[in-house]
Amino acid sequence: MTQPRFVPAGSARVLPLFGGDIRIIMPADGPEAGLSAFEDVRQPGDGPPLHVHHGEDEMFRVISGRFRLRAGDQTFEAGPGDCAILPRDLPHSFVNSGEAAGTMLCVVQPGGFERFFLEIAEAGLQVPSDMGRIVEVAARYKLEFLGPNPFSGR
């Protein structure tokens, strides 16, 4: 990237997916993008299945709420301002462990993982009824689902 990028707040795409909202706030600007960013808004008790990214490193920063994060064999309790960096190939998951909706900023490097969310949203795929197709799409983005969320069992 040789030029600065600016994305106005009003242009963020909000995708209602997997029981929460994914707000794509900094999409990748091409196939060689250095990073991309999205906000993950979750309701209490909600979080993704245990999964692993084989193509990206991921950073989480809690903006609001409380989250319990599992990364490999470690568990962290996180609140506003707390941050975690997860290297690719490390199985992980999280759950909103608070009593209200919570938001995490997620940055992935290299960029482009947000295309997974866009593809799922555009196809109208839903959990759990379309999980087979979601797994197929995930494989194209080097994302592997390993089992249910270790905290919620979903």
Structural domain spans, the chain: 15-146
Q: What residue spans of the chain are helical by DSSP H?
A: 114-123, 131-140
d(CA 34, CA 73): 28
106 Ramachandran zone, left/alpha/beta (phi>0; psi -120 to 50): beta
From the first residue on, what is the mean pLDDT of each consecutive set of 10 residues in the chain (154 residues)?
A: 82 91 90 86 95 97 98 97 98 97 97 95 92 96 95 90
The answer to whether residues 74 and 54 touch, using CB atoms and an 8 Å cutoff, is: no
Instruction: Tell me what pLDDT residue 32 has.
Output: 63
Q: Which two tokens stand for residue 23?
A: 């707000």
Q: Say how far apart CA 27 and CA 37 lie, in whole Å.
A: 6
Distinct helix (H) and strand (E) counts, the chain = 2, 11
Q: What is the pLDDT of residue 5?
A: 84
User: Looking at residue 128, what is its pLDDT?
Assistant: 85
- pTM, 2 dp: 0.92
Helix, strand, coil share (%) of the chain residues, nearest 5: 15, 40, 45
> Which residue reads 């903006």 in tokens?
63
Instruction: Write the single-letter amino acid at 80.
Output: P
CATH fold group of domain 15-146: Jelly Rolls (2.60.120)
53 close to 108: Cβ distance less than 8 angstroms: yes
Tell me, rounded to whole angstroms, the distance of Cα 120 from its chain centroid: 13
Model pLDDT, residue 84: 98
In Å, what is the CA distance from 64 to each residue of 44, 92, 111?
12, 20, 24
